[in-house]
């Protein structure tokens, strides 16, 4: 049990949540952060989808890493990821069809997500299944955290809602408040991500 939750394993899980966050530190996965964060619900679903795919693809590649010929390792990784993306896509269509429509092609494009492919190549190919699983969960949740923050700000200020529920009282609109239409545009997500990166690096500057 102590080996399962050793300091090394804990760091594999926790570092991507803060000090080695894939978006704020490595600046990876920006495209989907811009594309699916106009509202909170698709941001949450996308984040959880990437987390599940990253975790399980890490485990699978870790289990078979010693049997994969070096010259075709990228192809094998892509096949594993493509199979998991297809499964996740079908699950989304079956249970949250409206969100899957909002996410459109971006679920399929998870296969090219540089966070996911990077963890397979840099971590899963060199480590066992359990550390690889923790690394996948950590990086997926670190990615999802930024998506949720961006989606929260954009939906609240752009629509006055959260998860589709009105949170800005009607009396506020009666007093003259107007939703910020700029927040619904992809360019604003880039600005918000930039602000999050700046804040994160400023807070963690000394610790790094």
| Residue at token pair 């107007």 | 178
Residue 207 lies in a domain: no
Separation of alpha carbons 101 and 130, rounded Å: 34
Beta bridge mates, 161: 166
**143: left (phi > 0), else alpha (psi -120 to 50), else beta?**
alpha
Q: pLDDT tens for residues 146-201?
A: 999 999 999 999 999 998 889 988 888 888 888 988 888 888 888 898 899 898 88
Show the domain range for 40: 11-201
Q: What is the predicted pLDDT for the residue at 172?
A: 86
The percent of residues above 90 in pLDDT, for the chain, comes to 38
What is the number of structural domains in the chain? 1
Residue 2 lies in a domain: no
In this predicted structure, the answer to whether residue 102 has a pLDDT above a threshold of 70 is: yes
CB 144 within 8 A of CB 48: yes
In this predicted structure, the answer to whether residue 33 has a pLDDT above a threshold of 60 is: yes
Separation of alpha carbons 207 and 80, rounded Å: 37
């Amino acid at each position: 049990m102590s080996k399962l939750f050793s300091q090394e394993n804990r760091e594999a899980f926790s570092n991507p949540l803060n000090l080695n966050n894939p978006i704020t530190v490595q600046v990876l996965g920006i495209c989907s952060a811009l594309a699916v964060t106009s509202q909170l619900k698709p941001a949450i679903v996308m984040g959880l989808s990437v987390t599940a795919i990253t975790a399980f693809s890490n485990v699978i590649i870790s289990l078979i890493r010693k049997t994969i010929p070096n010259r075709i390792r990228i192809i094998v990784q892509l096949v594993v990821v493509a199979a998991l993306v297809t499964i996740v896509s079908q699950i989304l269509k079956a249970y949250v069809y409206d969100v899957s429509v909002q996410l459109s092609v971006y679920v399929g494009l998870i296969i090219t997500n540089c966070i996911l492919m990077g963890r397979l190549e840099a971590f899963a190919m060199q480590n066992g299944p359990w550390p690889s699983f923790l690394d996948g969960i950590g990086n997926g949740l670190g990615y999802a955290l930024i998506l949720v923050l961006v989606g929260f700000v954009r939906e609240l200020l752009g629509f006055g809602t959260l998860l589709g529920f009105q949170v800005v009282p009607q009396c506020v609109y009666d007093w003259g408040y107007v939703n910020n239409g700029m927040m619904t545009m992809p360019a604003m997500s880039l600005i918000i991500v930039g602000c999050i990166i700046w804040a994160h690096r400023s807070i963690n500057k000394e610790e790094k």
